[in-house]
Amino acid sequence: MAVSGVLSQRTHVRRKAPRTFLRRLFRRQKPRLRLETGGDLLVHLNCLLFVHRLAEESRMNAFENKDGVIKKEHVLAAAKVILKKSRG
């Protein structure tokens, strides 16, 4: 029917999403719930965006302290802000 019904076996996705890992996490956390096929890709997208924001924030923190290396405190402060934002 469709041209590309399933990822053909030959195509190697360059930036792979750890789909089984995500599904296992979800199952461990919420054994009662189920996750749909497209859902875990969106979860991956969400994670990417979260990590992206976290990295930006911690980078800004490191710049503000005029530090060339990202340190634990920067990450911690950034995480506080971003986790609050992505609480939903």
Applying CB under 8 A, the residues found at the interface with other proteins are 1-5, 7, 11, 13-15, 17-18, 21-22, 24-26, 29-30, 32-39, 41-52, 54-56, 58-59, 62, 68-72, 74-76, 79, 83, 85-88
Cβ proximity of 78 and 54 under 8 Å: yes
Contact of 36 with 26, CB cutoff 8 Å: no
- Which 3 state secondary structure label does DSSP give 67? coil
Nearest distance, CB of residue 57 and other proteins, angstroms: 10
Which amino acid makes up residue 75?
Answer: V
Please state the closest distance from residue 6 (CB atom) to other proteins, in A.
9
